[in-house]
Structure formats: structure tokens, C-alpha cells
């Protein structure tokens, strides 16, 4: 085991690099889409424990010898982290300017600024779900964990120095107390604030803290914590605990919280048994040790390379290209390790001038990124995409649309009036309803109605049933059911509401890896099965009948055409020469941007429309409005771009212009006072 041999000196342990190898392999293979490792993301939790162990042990060792220096500590951290990070950041900036449209480059610059400021975990907490499938297009997503660690580096030396000055014996109990509190916070808030729990340091601190506590306990005892007779079993148990989540967890598992315990405790058990056969032989094998040594650079490089290739290909990569990308990223990582990491780590420059140099380099990167940010992606690079990008940008924030974690509609005065001046049209639905809301509001106002939007992301307008979606780290079904019950009660009780429009992502009815659940039974019905179709028809039919009984006219909006590709991808790729050339090399031969295409999933769309008709069968007077005819011709070719204006902002959501175009012939009967 590692003992203090003087200031800051701890023996090198090859088995820890072996553990690093397992962690990086799990993360890389997970990002590569290997189905046998659905929980490969837990490799990051292993890294957290190792970081806590090494950094905590380094600081505590220096405190014991009285040689701790903040400047020396941050000098070592900067030399270890920043050179390889700067090289990767320079690559991604150049790649973004060459391959990305102005809007894409603008979006990239914001995450790059956050990464340079060691705050990318905070940025992604505010903007994205780690498990969202669209995140494959974010080249710097992996830097969220670097943000957590770098914030940990800012806090842990101050904490340990402060505790040492108060009373050295308080350090270990204080660290353990913080671990317990952090874990309880993570466990308690996971259901209500899953993104914050996943990304932020306070709810991840216990994982790093376990490593810190372990290092302190070892240095205090100066002998093995585990009896020699038990080390083999403890080490084996640790390995099993560490590996099990990689194959048992999925993107739908509530995580981290209690689900991270096996990875964290398993890593700790392996670290605490350095004399076991597994540590000395298996984890110290030369290939594993080598991969562990280059793991930091491999972590930095594998994701941007995969991400840019997926941006170019539209999302899906052939397995051979994925394997080539992973191999290439390992080659770049090895080069980075020998020619960037190692030379800079051997630098003997004094702390103050070295840190100043790194600060100046960071400022230079920030200056370049701010230019990209403030110019909205340097549009002069591809001026032909400026108008197209502007019409395909995400919708502006809508306070009346409810996001993840909320289960009540927004009934504030800005969204819902306590006393309407005119009869009211209400829109009830999900994000597909959201994009129609502004134009439906204008149509309703022209016909003499006020308008109210009651929408929630990923929640079809149903009562008593909901989809259980695997796109999120926690089920949304219960939130959806509570939200929809509240909406239905409000719609029925408000006499001013005369017309209710139901709109949603109906084509999602046959999505893979999802289920339907009801509020009367916990049993799940596989999406697309006869049972799930029955649940859907009964739920939607009951909602419509309930509204009709309370005197409402019900209009059911069929879904717009959905494509099996992102129209923005084909438009951008067709107009960026290098991107088009690489896409053809990847096997994407048909990159012709005609402005229209055959919609994907014909059978799914037909099934969804059929189920909507069946739901209306028991509700005479309800109307089904099909707006597909406004977007498609007789040859079943559907428009996604009209001149320089995009009608779609992804494969299924309309842009504001697209919604206006699709609803141009839709009318509501004039209101009667």
C-alpha cells in the first residue's frame, strides 16, 4: 500500500491504472453503442473514486509532513489536466469552424466557454439530459465530469487545510459526514431534480469523498485496512460490484443515487486491497496498466471524434466506422500521452509563472470562443446557411409549457385568466402541441376566442395512462398522469372553454423500448402491442367523452409527417463541402437537398391515424383534423424546406414557419357570444 515517504511522496500502484483501464473501456464502449454495456457510463463514477483517493491522499500526506502548498497543488493539477485539454479544445474549435453551420458553431461555443471555465457540468445541467439521444451531436458533453472534478479540486484543499488547523483528528469524521450528507441529498433529490443530481458537485461529492476518506484512513493507520486473510474475497467482491452496474443499469435507471453505490463501493474495495492476487496480477497486467495511463487523453478524445462523425452522418454510424473512430481516438490518446501529457508534467517551471501561462492560454481560448459566440458562429463562413439556421433554431422558451419534473399546468395570470372576456379555445398536448400553439392562438383570436395552452413535454393528452419513456433517467409517466388529470379537471370545470384541441406526437405510439402504464395497475404494456393499443384507445376515448359531457367541442389534431432523418442535417451537409465529402466517405451517398422527401415510418403513421379514428368511434361530434395534406402532395412527398426557410427543426417538430405553413388552411368556427 501507499505510505508517506516524505513530502508528497506515495508509491506508484500499477493496479490503480488497471482500474482506470476498466473505467475508460466501459465509458468508451458505452459511447460507441455496445449493447452489452448499457450501464457503461458508471465508469465515470469509478474515476471519481480514484480521483478522490489520489488527490485526497496527496493533500493529507502533505498536511502530515507540513509541506502543503496551494500553489504547488494547483501547479501539479494544471500540468496534469490542462495541456491535453487545450490540445483537444483546439481540435474541436477548428473542427467546429470547418464542419458546423453558424448556428451549430454558436451552440458549440457556449459549451466550449463553459468547459474552459471548468463549469460545463453546470452548463449541461441547465441545458440537457445526459441520456438524451440528441447529445451525440454535442462534441464537448464528456467535459461535464471534468467540471465536477475541477470544482472538487477547488474545494477539497481548502476544506482539508481548514479542518487540519482546527483539529487534525476531525478530518476523517468530517469527510465521512460530508459523504453521508451528499449521498442522502443525491438520493432524496433524484426523483424531483434528476439533472442536478447527475451533473452537480454537491450530489456527486460523496463519490469523490469516499476516495478521500479511504486515503486518509490508510495514511492514518499506516497499515492495511483489510486483514490479509480477507483481501482476496474483498477484492473479488469489489470487482463484481464495480462490473455489475455496467451490464445491469440502463439509461432509464434512476441515477446516480443508490444506483451508484455498487460502482463506488466496489472501486473502494479494490483500492483497499493492494496485496490481493487480483490487484497484483490481473489489474497490474501491462496492457491494462498502459490503457490506464492513457485513459485521461482517451477520455478527452474519443467523444469529440465520435460526435463530429455523428454530426456529419446525421446520427447513425456504421459499426466499422465506430470501431475505426475508437481505434483512431486511442491512437491520438497515446500520442497525446507521450508528446503532450508527459513533457508538460516534467516541467520544472515555478508555480506562479506556470499558472500564469496556463491562465493566459485559457484567456486566449476564451477570446476566440467569445468571437464565435458573439458573432453567432461566424456566419461569413457559410452565409448561405444563415437564413436556414435562423428558421430552424429551437423554439423560444414558453412559460406555459411544462418541462421535466413538474406535474401541474401553469395557471399564472400570464398563461391562464381567472375571468375570460371571450369564449376560449384550449390546446392540450405535448411538445408537438407547443409548436402549433402560436398559430392556433392567432386563428382562435381571429375567430373571436381567447386562447390557453396546457402542454407538457413528452406527455400525450391522455388521462389514466401514459408512456414510460426510456429517454430520461427517471420515469415521466407518473408526472404526465398527474399533469393530465389536473388539465382535464380544469378544462371540464371552466365554462368559458368551448373548444379543446388535442395535439401530440401520436406516431410515437409504436416507439421501441417504451411501454404504456395505467394509473390503476402497475403493469406495463409494451408499446405497439395489442394491449397497449387498447390502453391508448380507452384512455383517449375516455378523455374525449369526458370533455364532451362537460359541453366542450373536441378537435383532435393528427400528427404532422415524421422523417427518418433530420432535415436540418441534409440541408447543412449539402451546403458545407468538407462535411459533404466526409459524409460520402462514411457511406452517406444520397445527400441531395430537394426540399421535400418521403416521410419515414409509413406503417407507424398509418397505425397512429387508425388508432385516433378508433378512439373517436365512441365520441360522435368530435373532429379529426389531418394537416398532412398541407405538407404533402399526392405522391406522398412532404416538404421540409421552402426556399431558405425550414419547416422542420428536427425529424418530427415543426419550426414556427412550418407550423404557420401547416395550419394555413385550418379555421375555427366564429365564436358565439
DSSP string, 534-599: HHHHHHHHHHHHHHHHTT-EEEEEPPPP--SS-HHHHHHHHH-HHHHHHHHHTT-------SEEPP
Task: Give CA–CA dist 278/62, Å, rounded.
Answer: 30
Task: Give CA–CA dist 415/292, Å, rounded.
Answer: 54
> What is the pLDDT averaged over residues 602-620?
85
Number of H helices, E strands in the chain: 25, 13
Confidence label for 3 from pLDDT (cuts 50, 70 and 90)? very low
Closest alpha carbon to 92 in 64, 78, 76, 111:
111
* Structure confidence at residue 2 (pLDDT): 34
All cell numbers assigned to 577: 463541402
Task: Give CA–CA dist 137/573, Å, rounded.
Answer: 14
What phi and psi values does residue 641 have, to the nearest 5 degrees? -145, 135
Question: Angle 261-271/201-221 helices, nearest 10 degrees?
Answer: 20
What phi and psi values does residue 624 have, to the nearest 5 degrees? -105, 120
Mean pLDDT, rounded, of the chain: 90
* Structure confidence at residue 467 (pLDDT): 76
Confidence label for 287 from pLDDT (cuts 50, 70 and 90)? very high
Task: Give CA–CA dist 271/53, Å, rounded.
Answer: 9
Contacts of 98 (CB under 8 A, 6+ apart): 578
Domain with CATH 3.40.50.1110 in the chain: 401-662
> What is the pLDDT averaged over residues 276-280?
95
* Structure confidence at residue 6 (pLDDT): 38
Given a contact cutoff of 8 angstroms between Cβ atoms, the answer to whether 503 and 461 are in contact is yes
Task: Give CA–CA dist 128/144, Å, rounded.
Answer: 11
* Structure confidence at residue 10 (pLDDT): 66
Encode 508-543: b = buried (16+ Cβ within 10 Å), e = exposed.
bbbbeebbbbbbeeeebbebbeeebbebbbbbbbbb
pLDDT surpassing 70 at residue 65? yes
Between β-strands 638-639 and 596-597, what pairing exists: parallel, antiparallel or unpaired?
Answer: antiparallel
| Widest distance between CA atoms in the chain | 89
Q: How many CA atoms lie within 13 A of 139 on its CB side?
A: 28
> What is the pLDDT averaged over residues 322-338?
97
pLDDT surpassing 50 at residue 601? yes
pLDDT surpassing 60 at residue 7? no
Task: Give CA–CA dist 264/187, Å, rounded.
Answer: 14
Look at residue 613 and give its three-state secondary structure: helix
Strand boundaries in 195-237, DSSP class E? none
All cell numbers assigned to 56: 485526497
* Structure confidence at residue 5 (pLDDT): 36
Least confident among 4-13, 244-253, 299-308: 4-13
* Structure confidence at residue 253 (pLDDT): 86
* Structure confidence at residue 586 (pLDDT): 86
DSSP β-bridge partners for residue 452: 426
Task: Give CA–CA dist 589/570, Å, rounded.
Answer: 11
Look at residue 517 and give its three-state secondary structure: strand
Task: Give CA–CA dist 143/113, Å, rounded.
Answer: 11
Angle at 606 between CA 604 and CA 608, to 5 degrees: 70
Given a contact cutoff of 8 angstroms between Cβ atoms, the answer to whether 555 and 499 are in contact is yes
Work out the end-to-end distance of the chain between its first and last CA atoms, rounded to an integer number of angstroms: 84
Least confident among 29-33, 70-74, 252-256, 522-526: 522-526
| pLDDT tens string 347-360 | 888 999 999 999 99
* Structure confidence at residue 252 (pLDDT): 78
- Other beta carbons less than 10 A from residue 12's beta carbon: 7
- How many percent of the chain have pLDDT more than 70? 93
What phi and psi values does residue 128 have, to the nearest 5 degrees? -155, 155
Transcribe 323-379 into DSSP letters: HHHHHHHHHHHHHHIIIIIHHHHT----HHHHHHHHHHHHHHHHHHHHHHHHTTS-G
| pLDDT tens string 159-215 | 999 999 999 999 999 999 999 999 999 999 998 888 999 999 999 999 999 999 999
| pLDDT tens string 444-496 | 999 999 999 999 988 899 988 887 765 554 557 778 888 999 999 999 999 99
Closest alpha carbon to 503 in 623, 665, 412, 667:
623
> What is the pLDDT averaged over residues 408-437?
91
All cell numbers assigned to 593: 437537398
* Structure confidence at residue 574 (pLDDT): 93
* Structure confidence at residue 278 (pLDDT): 95
pLDDT surpassing 80 at residue 572? yes
Confidence label for 4 from pLDDT (cuts 50, 70 and 90)? very low
All cell numbers assigned to 466: 401514459
Least confident among 99-108, 274-283, 467-476: 467-476
**Would you give the DSSP letter of residue 279?**
I
Given a contact cutoff of 8 angstroms between Cβ atoms, the answer to whether 43 and 246 are in contact is yes
Angle at 23 between CA 17 and CA 25, to 5 degrees: 100
pLDDT surpassing 70 at residue 525? no
Given a contact cutoff of 8 angstroms between Cβ atoms, the answer to whether 451 and 484 are in contact is no
| pLDDT tens string 366-402 | 999 999 999 999 999 999 999 888 887 766 678 899 8
Length of the chain: 673
Class of domain 401-662: alpha beta
Amino acid at each position: 500500500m501507499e505510505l508517506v515517504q516524505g513530502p508528497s511522496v506515495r508509491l506508484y500502484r500499477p493496479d490503480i491504472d488497471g482500474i482506470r483501464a476498466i473505467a475508460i473501456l466501459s465509458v468508451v464502449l458505452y459511447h460507441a453503442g455496445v449493447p452489452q454495456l448499457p450501464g457503461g457510463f458508471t465508469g465515470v463514477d469509478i474515476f471519481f473514486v480514484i480521483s478522490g483517493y489520489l488527490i485526497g491522499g496527496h493533500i493529507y500526506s502533505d498536511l502530515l509532513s507540513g509541506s502543503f502548498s496551494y500553489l504547488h497543488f494547483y501547479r501539479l493539477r494544471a500540468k496534469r489536466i490542462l495541456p491535453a485539454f487545450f490540445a483537444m479544445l483546439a481540435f474541436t474549435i477548428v473542427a467546429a469552424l470547418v464542419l458546423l453551420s453558424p448556428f451549430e458553431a454558436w451552440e458549440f461555443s457556449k459549451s466550449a466557454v463553459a468547459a474552459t471555465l471548468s463549469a460545463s457540468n453546470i452548463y449541461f445541467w441547465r441545458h440537457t439530459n445526459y441520456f438524451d439521444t440528441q447529445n451525440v451531436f454535442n462534441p464537448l458533453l464528456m467535459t461535464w465530469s471534468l467540471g465536477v472534478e475541477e470544482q472538487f479540486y477547488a474545494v477539497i484543499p481548502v476544506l482539508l487545510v481548514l479542518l487540519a488547523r482546527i483539529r487534525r483528528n476531525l478530518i476523517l469524521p468530517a469527510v465521512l459526514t460530508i459523504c453521508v450528507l451528499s449521498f442522502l441529498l443525491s438520493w432524496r433529490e433524484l426523483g424531483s431534480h434528476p439533472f442536478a443530481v447527475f451533473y452537480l458537485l454537491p450530489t456527486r461529492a460523496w463519490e469523490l469523498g469516499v476516495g478521500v476518506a479511504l486515503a486518509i484512513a490508510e495514511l492514518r493507520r499506516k497499515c492495511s485496512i483489510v486483514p490479509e486473510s480477507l483481501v482476496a474475497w474483498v477484492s473479488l467482491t469489489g470487482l463484481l460490484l464495480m462490473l455489475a452496474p455496467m451490464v445491469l443499469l440502463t439509461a432509464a435507471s434512476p441515477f446516480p443515487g443508490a444506483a451508484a453505490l455498487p460502482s463506488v463501493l466496489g472501486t473502494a474495495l479494490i483500492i483497499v486491497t493492494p496485496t490481493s492476487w487480483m490487484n497484483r496480477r490481473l489489474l497490474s497486467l501491462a496492457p491494462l496498466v498502459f490503457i490506464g495511463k492513457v485513459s485521461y487523453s482517451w477520455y478527452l478524445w474519443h467523444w469529440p471524434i465520435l460526435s463530429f462523425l455523428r454530426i456529419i452522418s446525421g446520427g447513425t454510424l456504421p459499426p466499422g466506422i465506430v470501431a475505426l473512430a475508437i481505434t483512431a481516438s486511442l491512437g491520438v490518446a497515446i500520442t497525446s500521452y507521450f508528446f503532450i501529457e508527459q513533457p508538460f508534467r516534467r516541467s520544472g517551471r515555478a508555480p506562479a509563472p506556470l499558472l500564469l501561462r496556463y491562465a493566459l492560454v485559457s484567456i486566449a481560448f476564451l477570446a476566440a470562443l467569445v468571437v464565435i459566440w458573439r458573432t453567432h458562429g461566424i456566419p461569413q463562413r457559410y452565409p448561405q446557411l444563415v437564413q436556414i439556421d435562423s428558421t430552424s433554431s429551437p423554439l423560444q422558451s414558453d412559460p406555459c409549457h411544462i418541462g421535466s419534473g413538474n406535474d401541474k399546468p401553469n395557471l399564472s395570470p400570464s398563461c391562464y385568466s381567472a375571468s375570460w372576456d371571450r369564449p376560449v379555445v384550449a390546446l392540450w398536448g405535448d411538445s408537438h402541441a407547443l409548436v402549433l400553439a402560436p398559430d392556433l392562438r392567432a386563428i382562435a383570436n381571429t375567430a373571436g376566442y381567447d386562447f390557453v395552452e396546457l402542454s407538457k413535454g413528452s406527455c400525450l393528452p391522455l388521462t389514466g395512462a401514459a408512456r414510460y419513456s426510456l429517454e430520461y433517467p427517471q420515469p415521466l409517466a407518473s408526472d404526465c398522469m398527474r399533469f393530465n388529470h389536473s388539465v382535464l379537471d380544469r378544462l371540464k370545470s371552466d365554462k368559458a372553454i368551448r373548444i379543446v384541441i388535442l395535439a401530440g406526437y401520436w406516431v410515437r405510439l409504436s416507439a421501441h423500448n417504451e411501454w404504456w402504464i395505467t394509473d390503476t395497475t402497475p403493469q406495463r404494456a409494451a408499446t405497439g402491442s395489442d394491449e397497449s393499443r387498447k390502453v391508448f384507445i380507452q384512455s383517449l376515448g375516455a378523455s374525449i367523452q369526458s370533455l364532451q359531457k362537460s359541453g366542450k367541442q373536441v378537435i383532435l389534431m393528427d400528427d404532422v409527417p415524421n422523417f427518418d432523418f433530420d432535415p436540418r442535417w441534409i440541408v447543412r451537409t449539402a451546403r458545407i463541402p468538407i462535411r459533404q465529402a466526409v459524409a460520402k466517405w462514411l457511406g452517406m451517398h444520397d445527400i441531395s437537398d430537394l426540399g421535400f422527401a418521403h416521410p419515414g415510418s409509413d406503417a407507424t403513421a398509418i397505425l397512429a391515424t387508425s388508432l385516433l379514428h378508433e378512439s373517436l368511434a365512441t365520441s360522435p361530434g368530435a373532429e379529426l383534423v389531418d394537416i398532412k395534406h398541407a405538407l404533402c402532395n399526392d405522391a406522398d412527398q412532404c416538404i421540409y424546406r421552402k426556399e431558405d426557410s425550414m419547416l422542420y427543426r428536427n425529424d418530427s417538430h415543426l419550426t414556427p414557419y412550418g407550423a404557420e405553413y401547416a395550419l394555413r388552411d385550418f379555421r375555427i368556427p366564429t365564436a358565439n357570444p
